[in-house]
Amino acid sequence: MSYTVFSPSRIFSGPGSIERLKGLVEELGAEQLFVVTDQGLRKAGIVEKVVNLLNDERLNVSVFDETQPEPTVGNYEDALKLAKDTKAQLIIGLGGGSSIDLAKAVSLGMVHPGSILDYVGIDKVPGPGLPTILVSTTSGTGSEVSKFAVLTDEATNLKSVVCSPYNLAVASIVDPELTLSLPPVITAHTGMDALVHTIEGYIAERSSPYTDQLALLAFEKIWNNLSTVYHDGSNVDARTEMAIGSMMGGLVLNTTDGAGMVHGLAFSLGVYCHLSHGLSNSLVLPYVLEVVAP
């Protein structure tokens, strides 16, 4: 069988890996930086911590911190307008899947004309967007290493997926220390999303020896540590296992070209019932497995 492995050029992982950010920015030569993040991280002090790392008179850092959970096309257009106004040269996605997906979309919108909806589907993006550095602060979507960006089209209530290798970051940073302040409920929801990625990747029609091994290893890391991080969010070792496991889940889905029926149903459930992505997945997982397990 043949298969294609997609991943960012570089993935920095482990406690303290956020310290690599400034060196990366300098290496890329960008001066106008645009950070896409959310209010939760602003309140947790993580936006300030990251902006302080970029403290340099040559760098101008603009921040869009209005990312919505499950971001809409309208939310994307607001972010894109600010990115254009500030003449962004490099996009930094900082957050969970919502902020990171929005960052990817903004990167494409800065270069390619028309609506982001023109690029929904597989390989519809004609070329690279602005370079991105994607920094995850949850252990869930694996979006920091994936080629997917998901937005909700409010006109049709559809989750719309832009699947393109041009969504891949120049570099991803997976620093478990950024997940230490994540509340238990979000830890649980995002962790379950990551677990589902390993399950759906493992049973996917396009699974391969590469994804099978990666999915099993990632499943084990998440299965063995999710309960620990839910009860003790400050456990750095368990948070590190979750961060690596969820990142590996993202790499699995890159190669299987997406998830399966659990995600398909969960997308609808999330949009119509306003539930988080991880919770929607968790609710339908047992029923789908009952059908597909045989």
- Residues contributing to the site for Fe ion (CB under 5 A): 193
Please state the closest distance from residue 266 (CB atom) to Fe ion, in A.
8
Nearer Cβ to Fe ion (111/122): 122
Please, what sign has the CA dihedral across residues 285, 209, 245, 166? negative
- Dist CA 90 CA 111 (whole Å): 12
DSSP H helices, the chain, are 21-28, 39-43, 46-53, 73-85, 97-109, 184-203, 209-231, 236-256, 261-273, 277-292
Q: Are 37 and 47 in contact (CB under 8 A)?
A: yes
- Which tokens go with 36? 């896409």
Please state the closest distance from residue 278 (CB atom) to Fe ion, in A.
7
Nearer Cβ to Fe ion (21/199): 199
Nearer Cβ to Fe ion (112/263): 263
- Dist CA 112 CA 198 (whole Å): 33
- Dist CA 270 CA 120 (whole Å): 19
Q: Are 24 and 133 in contact (CB under 8 A)?
A: yes
Please state the closest distance from residue 194 (CB atom) to Fe ion, in A.
8
How do beta strands 158-163 and 90-95 pair? unpaired
Q: Rounded to 5 degrees, what are φ and ψ at 20?
A: -80, -10
Nearer Cβ to Fe ion (52/223): 223
Nearer Cβ to Fe ion (38/193): 193
- Which tokens go with 258? 């997406």
Please state the closest distance from residue 261 (CB atom) to Fe ion, in A.
13
Q: How far is CA 188 from the centre of its chain?
A: 16
Give ∠ CA 55-59-65 in degrees, rounded to 5: 75
Please state the closest distance from residue 166 (CB atom) to Fe ion, in A.
20
- Dist CA 135 CA 17 (whole Å): 10
Nearer Cβ to Fe ion (20/263): 263
Please state the closest distance from residue 158 (CB atom) to Fe ion, in A.
16
- Which tokens go with 293? 């397990």
Helix (H, G, I), strand (E, B) or coil at 30: coil
Hey, what amino acid is at 98? S
* CB-closest chain residue to Fe ion: 193
Please state the closest distance from residue 277 (CB atom) to Fe ion, in A.
6
Nearer Cβ to Fe ion (88/285): 285
Please state the closest distance from residue 262 (CB atom) to Fe ion, in A.
9
Nearer Cβ to Fe ion (51/266): 266
